Amino acid sequence: MTAEALVKPDAAAPRATRAPAPPTARPRRRGAVGAAALTTATWAIALVFVSPALWLALTAFKQEGDAATDPPKLFFEPTLDQFRTVLASDFLPYLGNSLTATLLSTLLVLLLGVPAAYALSIRPVRRTQDVLFFFISTKMLPVVAVVVPLYVAAARLSMLDNIWTLVVLYTAMNLPIAVWMLRSFFLEVPRSIIEAASMEGAGLPRVLWSVMLPVMAPGVAATALICMIFSWNEFFLAVNLTASQAATVPVFMVGFITSEGLFWAQLAAAATLASLPIVVIGWTAQRQLVRGLSMGAVK
């Protein structure tokens, strides 16, 4: 055997495998940087949307001279004088009228809208789409086109400056959108649950109140909150059909626009106080609101 044969490796012998290189940390670092950038961008966008509300609350703690400066003053001595002025200007009766009209109209919307949406989703008829279109078409009519007939009708019925007039009108205003929302939530309930309840002998009312409503409770909460926001912020009907006995908070805030000028700090304080009830309700029901608005989003 020659020396070359001794040095040359055998072709059949297995080659030594190279150990894999340890994974680098670059992909992980890139993912962390991307997540941090996304979080920063999300917070920046959120601050842009929330900044008007923050500026409103900040202005409410200023004096009138500080609130009217140009450019605006960022550093000032906070005061509660504007809130005291608003509360001393008979703000509470207006707040009570808004709460009464909003809560009663929302309750009536749910009492009328839940059975209607249940019927249109569980037992649809041939003209179901026409009925739904008729409901939503009522939202296309400008309010200014019907305010004169409404005023005349309320005057003949001696219902001007009456809180029940606003309750009825707010109910009619919010009922179409409530039926559409509730129907979409009813359609997301699995039909197997309804069939199982029917096989157990439950009738349609029992299926509605004992089976379906507990399942779609977040959807009902979301619908109620949206109706409350629409009623709470309504201004045109309230300013034209009420005077002093049934005027709501939006009408009250118009009083800060006078011939002497616009009282920015007092208006900001009134708007902050007017926003607190809806903010508190929305914060309390935020979990149900998110679940209700996301029903059916993920299959």
Between residues 148 and 126, which one has the greater pLDDT?
A: 148
pLDDT at 236 over 70: yes
Task: Put residue 203 in one of left, alpha, beta given phi > 0 → left and psi -120 to 50 → alpha.
Answer: beta
- Report helix angle 91-122 to 128-137, nearest 10: 160
How far apart CA 236 and CA 150 sit, in angstroms, is 12
Domains and CATH numbers, the chain: 33-79 (no CATH), 90-293 (1.10.3720.10)
- pLDDT class for 283, splitting at 50, 70, 90? confident
Q: What is the number of residues in the chain? A: 299
pLDDT score of 102: 94
**Beta-strand pair 261-262/257-258:** antiparallel
Nearest to 279 by CA among 227, 229, 218, 220: 229
What pLDDT shows up at residue 33?
74
Q: Is the Cβ–Cβ distance between 171 and 105 less than 8 Å?
A: yes
Rg (CA), the chain: 31
- DSSP states along 121-146: HHS--TTHHHHHHHHHHGGGS-GGGT
Alpha helices in the chain (DSSP H): 3-7, 26-59, 64-67, 81-87, 91-122, 128-137, 147-156, 163-187, 191-199, 204-206, 213-215, 217-233, 236-241, 249-254, 264-284, 286-293
What is the rounded distance in angstroms from the CA atom of residue 193 to the CA atom of residue 119?
Answer: 17
**Which pLDDT score is estimated for 207?**
75
46-50, 64-68, 169-173 — most confident range: 169-173
- pTM of the full predicted structure? 0.78
The arithmetic mean of pLDDT across residues 200-208, rounded, is 73
Q: Is 37 left (phi over 0), alpha (psi -120 to 50) or beta?
A: alpha
Higher-confidence position of 21 and 195: 195
